[in-house]
Amino acid sequence: MNSTEKAKSKRLPLFALLAFLALGAAPAQAQQPIPPQDLSDLYYVTVPIEKVYPYRKGYVVVYRRGANRVGQAYIPFEWFRFTEKKADLIQIGYGKTMPCMSIFYKEGKFHYVRLYVSRLKNHPTWGLIPSNVNIDDRFEGLEELQIGFD
């Protein structure tokens, strides 16, 4: 090994060390606390949907609360209207995407719900409520969506 090769072999570890230090500095800056004025007062929680039952007053959504439990949410059709606009129904495509429900909170209170459901009505997550079942009272007077988590 001649003297130029020795000099190059010494520069390579030095260069690697400098590159490592330079790249390591960026994540350290990214971990600085976010100033309070830059924090959002809006956040959301997404839960998987087990079943969606259309009803004459709205949708009954059976969602997964945890590993072994499910919960029910009642979402009136009025929430989907422009005047109320507390809900959206997004029809997802034919891929492997599973239906889910995203609940948005603003300043810690319910703000909005978004249902992501299959556009295919024969998808296993769509169900039917028998016409002789009356659950009208579950949709009356709803101002916010309250769901439970495990």
Do residues 80 and 113 share a domain? yes
13 shares its domain with 57: no
User: Is residue 72 domain-shared with residue 54, that is, in the same domain?
Assistant: yes
Q: What pLDDT is attached to residue 51? A: 96
Task: Name the residue with higher pLDDT: 32 or 53.
Answer: 53
* 12/62 same-domain check: no
Indicate the number of domains in the chain: 2
Q: Whole-angstrom Cα distance, residue 51 to residue 72?
A: 9
Is residue 146 assigned to a domain? no
Region 25-50: what's the mean pLDDT?
73
- Report percent pLDDT > 70 for the chain: 73
Do the domain assignments include residue 143?
no
Computed over every residue of the chain, the mean pLDDT equals 82
* Interacting residues of 31 by C-beta distance below 8 A, sequence separation 6+: none
Question: Residue 92 domain-assigned?
Answer: yes
pLDDT at 16 over 80: no
Please state whether beta strands 42-55 and 58-64 pair in parallel, antiparallel, or not at all (unpaired). antiparallel
The pLDDT score that the predictor gives to residue 93 is: 82
* 50 lies in the same domain as 114: yes
The alpha carbons of the chain give a radius of gyration, in whole angstroms, of 26
- Same domain for 76 and 124: yes
81 with 24, same domain: the answer is no
- 56 is in which domain, residue-wise? 42-138
Looking at the chain, the number of H-run helices and the number of E-run strands are: 1, 6
pLDDT tens digits, one per residue of 78-123:
999 988 889 999 999 877 788 999 999 998 899 999 999 999 888 8
Residue 148 included in any domain:
no
Same domain, 49 and 14: no
* Residue 15 included in any domain: yes
Read off the amino acid at residue 67. A
Residue-level pLDDT at 3:
55
Task: Tell me what pLDDT residue 67 has.
Answer: 83
8 assigned to some structural domain: yes
In a domain? residue 9 = yes
Q: Is 78:91 a contact under the CB 8 Å cutoff? A: no
Judgement on whether residues 47 and 15 belong to the same structural domain of the protein = no
